Amino acid sequence: MRLLRMLPIRLRAALAAALATAVVLGVVTWWVGEQSYRAGLPPAKLTALKDADALDDAVPALDRDRTLQWKYPQTSYLLMLADGSWALHHAVLGDIDALRPALHPMPPAVDPNDPAGTVLLKGRSDEVELRVPAGVLLTMPNSPGADLVGRDVVFQRRTGQVWDAAALETLTGRKGLPAQQVTTFVLVNDNAAREDAAAVTTALLRYVLPLGSLFVALVAWLVVGFALRPVEAIRRQMARIGGGDLHERVPVPPSRDQIGRLAVTTNETLDRLADALAEQRRLVADASHELRTPVAVLRGSLDVALAHPERADWPSVARTAVAGAERLERLTADLLLLHRVDGQAVTDRLTPLHDLITEQLAERALLGGRPATVLALDELLLPADELLLGRLLGNLLDNAERYAASRITLSLRVTDGTAELTVADDGPGIAEADRERVFERFVRLDESRDRQHGGSGLGLALVRGIAEGLGGTASAVAPATGRGAELVVSLPVPGAVS
């Protein structure tokens, strides 16, 4: 089986087609042989019936030498009296009595319903099928040495005239036998039918089966090769794309089959890879730009202090360095968290979002942050990483606190299998044209949302990344109060029936 899997797919298809064809042709060969044999039986039966008629007519003409077998050497026959005893037989040797149970009893010699004892019509015939038992050598006279032991054979039975005692004495050599019918059994010689069937079967097995299997295997080889041409074209194109040209796409065949769908899916995957690569390059460029500024400020302050150490305010230099280092640390942590978000937000452990909201609001109030008004707080358990879920909530509150004029509102509502977390502020708000851009990395919309407010441009990008990692969405919508910004995170509720 392992070796079969290692074979090329065209060869496997050709072998499978050849094997299936061989099986089918083998069954067809058997069926054709059987039909050929059956077609040859009626003429053989007719010949046996004619021989039975001739034997029946010849019985009265027997002389005392009983030379009937010499007159019909081509026939195997048995003559039986009404009591089941043998009158005469030809080409049957051995335990002849072993055939009696299958041939006797016979039909009555006279009609039992006729008081006058009218003789049954001459020519009543029938067929007797039996399997030749062991100990009986039954041969076809024109096939010397043909032993039929164990084979199914057919006898044609012919009921002749009623012969008197004199005729029966001539036939059997026995005196005093009552008048009775002598029944003739003639073996149906099916040798010709069997030879014809064997000839047909041999021809089919010798020529049709191997040539047919080879032909079908060749057709399968060619058809599979033709069907795999688009796959080979896709492979060659993928090899070129792998060389670095991600703008190329694989050819899509016109067929609507699995290969066509494979090509479409491959192109869609390449599109996503190209987008991911472009996004990665943009992230690297943006991160380099964002990191360059605090590093430059930190190095500049240290260079100036080192150039004039006697005039440097070293406590101030240290504070500046610590502030720069803290900003670098926050930015690095955000970048690492942003990388972690993809595919790692969902866990087996349930996290109560409503408890996280209560804890964060209490912590912010204790640290002197701007208080938030809770409009609604439904209970919600999510299969989410607690750190990421807490970061999503914290970034939303940080964003609202950073730009709110006087008021922050928060609500958590669960309806129809969906949870909506809404955080709104009464600050400068977000223009409708920028409500999608605000979730992009390192995006600062205007002068009111710059580095002086402490933002790195990754907060809302993290919010959307975490929300999408949980199967939800994050969006900026028109505020219900008509002022400020309103951010909504929609998350699916586990176990809810949609």
CA-to-CA dists, residue 327 to 174, 221, 331, 438, 477, angstroms: 134, 66, 6, 21, 30
DSSP lists the bridge partners of residue 420 as 413, 490
pLDDT at 212: 93
pLDDT at 445: 64
pLDDT at 172: 80
> Which among 388, 284, 382, 395 has a CA at the least distance from the CA of 342?
388
pLDDT at 446: 54
The model's pLDDT over 114-140, given as tens digits with 9 standing for 90+, comes to 545 444 445 566 788 888 888 888 877
Instruction: Find the helix or strand (DSSP H, E) in which 232 lies.
Output: helix 229-242
The phi and psi torsions of 398 (rounded to 5 degrees) equal -60, -45
pLDDT at 449: 44
CB–CB of 157/127 below 8 Å? yes
pLDDT at 208: 92
List the chain pLDDT tens, one digit each, 498 residues: 566 677 788 888 899 999 999 999 999 999 999 999 889 889 988 888 888 888 777 766 665 445 555 566 677 888 888 888 888 888 888 888 888 888 886 655 555 455 454 444 455 667 888 888 888 888 776 665 567 788 888 998 888 777 788 878 877 878 888 888 888 899 988 888 888 899 999 999 999 999 999 999 999 999 988 888 888 888 888 888 877 777 788 888 887 788 888 888 888 888 888 877 877 777 777 677 667 777 887 888 888 888 888 877 888 878 878 877 877 777 777 777 666 665 566 777 888 999 999 999 999 888 887 888 999 999 999 988 888 898 899 999 999 998 898 899 999 999 988 999 999 999 999 998 889 988 887 776 654 444 444 456 778 888 998 898 888 999 999 998 888 999 999 999 987 544
CB atoms within 10 A of CB 314: 9
DSSP state at residue 205: I
Assessment of whether the complete model's pTM goes beyond 0.85: no
pLDDT at 136: 84
The phi and psi torsions of 214 (rounded to 5 degrees) equal -65, -40
Q: Which long-range contacts (CB under 8 A, 24 or more apart) does 233-241 make?
A: 234/259, 234/262, 234/263, 234/266, 238/266, 241/270
Q: Are strands 346-352 and 381-384 parallel, antiparallel or unpaired?
A: antiparallel
DSSP state at residue 417: T
DSSP-derived secondary structure for 124-183:
EEEEEEEEPPTTEEE-BTTBTT---TT-EEEEEEEEEEEE-HHHHHHHHS-SSPPSEEEE
* 373-377 sheet: strands from edge to edge: 373-377, 408-415, 418-425, 485-492, 473-477
> Which among 130, 447, 456 has a CA at the least distance from the CA of 293?
456
